[in-house]
Amino acid sequence: MADNRPLDFGKFWYELGKELSDIPMLSEIAPIPLRSNEFCDLYGVSLTSVGPYKIFGYLSIPKGEGPFPTIYYVPKNGSVLEIIPQGTSNRVRSRFITFSIACRGMRNSDKPYAAMYPGQLTDGLDSLGEYIYRGIAADTIRGLDFVISRPEVDKTKVVAWGNDNAILAAALHGAVTHLVATPSYLVDTLEAAASSTSYPLEEFSDYMRSYPEREKLVEEILQYFNLKWHAQSVDAISLIMTESNSGIYSRSFLQDFTDRIQGDVTIHQSEGSTYKDGLFAEKWLTNCFFGKDEKPIVPPHWDQ
């Protein structure tokens, strides 16, 4: 496959990082008693990202003496911000600090910009400077800036968990020590979209059908976000979750990307079961942070 990495790839990301570092985080933290309990306290967090733009997140801190290992649930391609992902046992909040953040456009971070879903992934895609994912990448980094500012965080155990944005987090911020990620749309995007009829990749196909004359420009812009070119900056201990052999982002399709990751990599091909895949990820992270003798915290119906 041709090497289409932009010549100014490093310069582009350096300039975004510099722009973000020049903007004060201006964090504001407020307790949320309704979502606190006997084993953890929840807070609403407001941060300032590039723009400047205000983004919102949920910070959960276990009761007791820290520091604690931390799960950073990165911004996702979806409208709703959750404290922890749906289906995750609430008890993980007794063992981990968790921080989830809504990037610009998601609900709770939708003023003045409210994203459309689908629509967010291609918003501004005809301009590198205006493409929404430039701001979303900055929001993702800002979230990590906040995480490592907290004295309760064990900085040797910080996992970025999510989809493509988790990989961007690991590549663009040195605070990530571990990574759990399921690539979904930022590896060789147009090539993958050409073989898919489902979202989120279909969103790019929709865009290209509407603006076929922009294909070359769009391909050039997406190369700045192509995770294949970011992989060499990922030195975190990583778990990459792939689709099955029949899926677009299968192990074989992603091999060029995963081979470039610098840290230790475990690849888990989907077993076609949210339960089995989720249990594998929970066991993997528990083993990394606490050792093989510690049991993962999973929903009760998983632990039968």
Which amino acid is it at 235?
D
Decide if 299 is inside a domain. no
Quote the domain boundaries for residue 191.
9-293
State pLDDT tens for residues 175-215. 999 999 999 999 999 999 999 999 999 999 999 999 999 99
pTM: 0.96
CATH of the domain at 195: 3.40.50.1820
Region label for 148, one of left (φ > 0), alpha (ψ between -120 and 50) or beta (otherwise): alpha
Determine, yes or no, domain membership for 69.
Answer: yes
Domain count, the chain: 1
Under 8 Å between Cβ of 105 and 115: yes
DSSP for residue 13: H
Q: Is residue 56 part of a domain?
A: yes
Q: Give the residue carrying structure tokens 């967090």.
A: 45
The DSSP line for 285-300 is HHHHHH-TTSPP---G
User: Phi and psi (nearest 5°) for 127?
Assistant: -145, 125
| Residue 46 domain flag | yes
Quick check: is 2 in a domain?
no
Residues 73-131 have pLDDT tens digits of 999 899 999 999 998 999 999 999 999 999 999 999 999 999 999 999 999 999 999 99
Q: Is residue 300 part of a domain?
A: no
The full length of the chain comes to 304
d(CA 72, CA 91): 16
